[in-house]
Structure 1
Amino acid sequence: MKLFLLAALSLVALAAARPDSVLNLDLDGIHHDQDLEDGEVVSGTYSWTSPEGEEFFVRYVADENGYRVLESNAVPASEGVAADGQQGSFVSFEEEDN
């Protein structure tokens, strides 16, 4: 559920960055697939189509190493290196609270 929320928030942030396109956002073009493996590893993809017709996607995994983007045409490359799951993770703030 947290990953779905993260995906939804990402889409909202994307729409907010382009206020002129918010009214043109086609929710039928948003897809999210998720698998739970061994009760601990979540993997999946989400994709959407921009108002200009460009399709974006993110393939991710969330496990003991955190949430990591494995492949994406929506996440910009950092220092010329595209996301491949080895670039580090997004760690939950819940862990810091404990």
Structure 2
Amino acid sequence: MVDNGGLWIGQALLSKLVGSTSRILGQQPRPPRDDWAKLLSERECQVARLVAGGASNKEIANQLEISERTVKAHLTSIFEKLSLRDRLQLSLKINGLMV
């Protein structure tokens, strides 16, 4: 949170950052760590993987044929279940860079 000393990054920049990180990590061999997936529903896993790939809420909604509001609800649930604060932490977790 910005008011707690955090840094605000616009949605477009965050999507580029997450997407770039995902592409760079995809080029490096890593053993898959899907511990997080056991805590989520199948749909939440789909949303989480798309976020980790840099997709926006609108892109996720279009791809999964759900509303953006439903994407946001899934993200809220994902963040809570995995004890994460934001999309960047989610991407790092899914890509095995965060325990």
TM-score (norm 1): 0.27
The structure that is strand-richer by fraction is 1
* Bigger relative contact order (CA 8 A; separation at least 6): 2
The structure that is helix-richer by fraction is 2
